Amino acid sequence: MRAGEAYPVEVGCGLDVGALAAAALEVGDCALLTDSTVGPLYAGRVRRSLRAAGWRVLETVEVPAGEGSKSLAVYGEVLRRLARAGLMRDGALFALGGGVVGDLGGFVAASYMRGISLVMLPTTLLAMVDSSVGGKTGLDLPEGKNLVGAFLQPRLVAADLGFLESLPRRELSMGLAEVVKMGLLAGGRLFGALQRLAEALAGDAGALEELVLLSVSFKAGVVAEDERERGRRAILNYGHTVGHGLEAASGYGLAHGEAVAAGMVAEALLSRRVFGTDLVGLHERLLREAGLPVRVRGLEAAEVLGAMRRDKKRRGGEHRFVLLREVGRPVWGVEVGEEEALSAVEAVLEAA
């Protein structure tokens, strides 16, 4: 793919990470960032692959699994570990894990020594199809999600589908939320491939590979047109305006994929009101096939709306949404008033 500088995105089973990285950038010192769930399973294998290709692994930093590691405190500790290990500006950071590790590792790489090389090794379906590609990095603040961050394109993304074998069914569903989103945005072949959602949820390797490849290809094309999100790249936020509000209102106890699923239903309702095209039933059917909920329990609409008011996309006091005129025809920057936004949020909330 091409996004700013060209870099490869490799998708397959049993990838030789060390050799792929050696082909993409100069071999030298590196560090491995992972979390407490992924590290015990795969860090040893990745270190062996790197060393076999000539890499010098100076440090393996393991952070607690979960959204809480996207914090300034954890970020600072990772920087200090790299400094104590002696990693210099010509070194590389390998981010082995899901979206949290990728977001944290990306911001570490963007800022440590004013920028070092980054290699993404996504281990969840969600990270493979979404956060590992495109160059967005970020940390959360108590005031909201991803309020600190930078753009940094990785030098390589290596998505080994073998990592998905250890994922529970719910984690596959989290990734399929983004696949559904991109199918609705893209239309065409990717939308047609959504008929394989049930197969993918059951762990079928062929279905997973097809959906990952098509999703990455679509996102790569969008990012290549608009790397810094000044225009069309905004379409990738479909479902996320409400979704991020739901996450924040839950104290980040609600999983990202489940929040985005409900967010897409809410934004499909807004699309119906604005454009008159009823895609709500289609959204609900696809999301259920992916094993995802279409409603969220136990949250207050006022709290969700309060979190949405801190959304980076707001301008002049109005909420800005990505809406669907129809499948494959997204419209970004649609201004929606407070009452309409509140009504859409209320429609996807259920009493506890």
Residues designated as active site: 114, 136, 178, 219, 229, 233, 237, 240, 244, 256
Binding residues: 99-103, 123-124, 136, 145, 178, 240, 256
User: What is the distance between the alpha carbons of residues 56 and 45, in angstroms, rounded to a whole number?
Assistant: 14
How many Cβ atoms from other residues are within 10 Å of residue 348's Cβ?
A: 26
164 close to 205: Cβ distance less than 8 angstroms: no
Q: Tell me the C-alpha to C-alpha distance, in Å, between residue 77 and each of 52, 85, 91, 234, 276.
A: 29, 12, 18, 32, 51
HSE (side-chain half, CA atoms, 13 Å) at 18: 17
The Cα 272–Cα 276 span in angstroms is 4
3-class secondary structure, 267: helix
Binding-site sequence positions for NAD(+): 99-103, 123-124, 136, 145
Q: Which residue has the tokens 């069914």?
A: 169
Taking CA atoms, 350 is separated from 245, 259, 294, 299, in Å, by 15, 13, 10, 8
Residues annotated within the binding site for Zn(2+) are: 178, 240, 256
93, 112, 320 from 76: Cα distances, Å: 15, 10, 33
